[in-house]
Structure 1
Amino acid sequence: MKPVRRIEGRSAALRIENLDTDQIMPKQFLRGIDKNGLSEGLFYDLRFDARGIERPEFVLNRAEYADVSVLIAGNNFGCGSSREHAVWGLQQAGIRAVVAPSFGEIFYSNAMGNGLLLVTLPEAEVRRLMDEADQPGRNGVVIDVEALTLSAGAEPDRAMGFEMLPRHRRMLLEGLDAIGLSMTYREQIAAFAARHWEEQPWLKDVAVGAD
């Protein structure tokens, strides 16, 4: 993972409540054994009709939103199944952050563990960001992970604060996944293991010689 300290880009509004991971990444795109090509499946049934023709009304199909990197979404974004492919597909499509009033719990963990920034803000603020995202040219967003602030749109100097668990903030700033974060404590882990075996040596290799 690459460190994420600041995200600056254009936003698009997805005014859909309870957008689940099955809609973010439909099941037919989960057949591969790697992460490649998932951007093709992102929001597939929202982007295309039953004949495979683009839906012109879907925001990400519009030319003026072709290069957005921030989604402004509705409540409970990413609910549903635990498929990590939803996160990978968003990232492959160039999405670096999602802002919403709330997120599905497993999706939140998957996203933050893969370096996709999720920002939780009050509904009123999210609605304002959606209104600004609907106006190309006024939909710029700047997210500062170090300062935990977001500024956008017509009031670029007005920074909104948001909260994040210290471990998630550290993972983003240092480019660490969950294993990488654990490995930063390897000296403490080794010391704990040594002390454990010293105090309870009868537990070590207890299965050696068993039939």
Structure 2
Amino acid sequence: MTHKDLQDLVASALAELRQESADSPVPNIVSLQSLGSREVFDEASRLCDADDSLQRELGVRILRELGPQDSEGRRTYSDEAIPLLLEMLKNEIDPGMTRRILQALAFNSAREAISEFTTRANHPDPGVRETIAFQLPSLSTPATLGLVADTVKAMTQDLDPDVRYYALYALFEPEEGLGLDDQERHQLAKQFLRDPDRQIQTYARKILAT
């Protein structure tokens, strides 16, 4: 791919972001991620340092899924992308961008950055907390399993129903690997049969029926 081709693709991806809705396809962003080349990584890094917030968002979106994952969940440029994302996160105050950076870290299996998730479990923005409840379990290791489980358990008491739901999902679903046995799952589910949110009530009944 020539430099001009890459710049044209980036311009098309930026246009996608300007018009993006919740369910709209983003083929140009996917194309950039799929290329997985050094040139795309360098361009994403440049975008992450831009003054324009939309360009920074595109840079983070590219890094989130740039190239294939290995058996440990790391991507081709994860070792370089993770420090860059952490530096962005350090100074970020916008909740939307904070969510995107955390998602990008999780999609690069940044287990070394787990404290960036656990220390934000009480973030004032519910979208950030929802992202943490959803992504945190994927970053656990045998050494951090207790910390992750305790953090997620605390998030089941969140005032936001979406945060509670994702925290419960992480604890209830065995594939999430947070170590609850059937008895513990059932005891926890009973506590949410009268949750104010009907989706959570339904989910708790489903767990008790299994």
Flag whether TM exceeds 0.5 (same fold): no
Greater share of strand: 1
Greater share of helix: 2
TM-score by length of 2: 0.32
TM-score by length of 1: 0.32
Q: Which has the higher contact order (CA 8 A, sep 6+)?
A: 1
